[in-house]
Every structure is written in structure tokens, then in C-alpha cells.
Amino acid sequence: MHLKKLEQDFSVCKVEDLSKVNLDSKFCFIGKTDEERSVVCVTTDIPCNVVEREDGWKAFRIEGTNTDYILTKSDNYDRAIEVLEQAG
């Protein structure tokens, strides 16, 4: 397993709609349910129509055939990397 740390700070945001989300950003993850629309983005790329937001997230990716991205709170970031690297 090869982990790649992402240096950016991320935020999880609930938005009014997706019209102000910058889809040209390097990282942008969108979730939509019948109750809300959420965006995970680099903190400096937060859309202007945010209803709620939670800052303080970091991310890394597990590189492979299908790359997975993992978010963790900044306080737990180094520990999460350490545990996964030890687990192999």
C-alpha cells in the first residue's frame, strides 16, 4: 500500500446548491442526498453559498488501480498515516 499525503487543508461544506462549486479545483468531492448537498474542497476554494462548514480536515490517498481518498481530522492525521503504514 502506497500512501500519498495531500498538503492542502480541507473543509466539509453543506451548500445551498451546486451552482457555485468550482469544478475546476484540483480537489472537489460532491455528495447529494434528498436532504442536502455537500462538498469537500480545499479550504481556500470554499463556495460562496455555504450554509454550514467544518474546517480542520486533512487528506491522503491510497494509490493503486483504484485510488481511494481518505479524510481525517487534522488532529488525527499523523496517527492515521502511521497506523496505516504499519498495517501495510
Q: Is the pTM of this model over 0.95?
A: no
Domain layout of the chain by residue ranges = 2-87
DSSP string, 27-76: -EEEEE-SS-EEEEEEGGG--TTEEEEEEEEEEEEEESSS-EEEEEEGGG
- pLDDT value of position 35: 94
- pLDDT value of position 86: 86
CATH class name, domain 2-87: alpha beta
Q: What is the pLDDT of residues 27-82, one digit of tens each?
A: 999 999 999 999 999 999 999 999 999 999 999 998 877 889 999 999 999 999 99
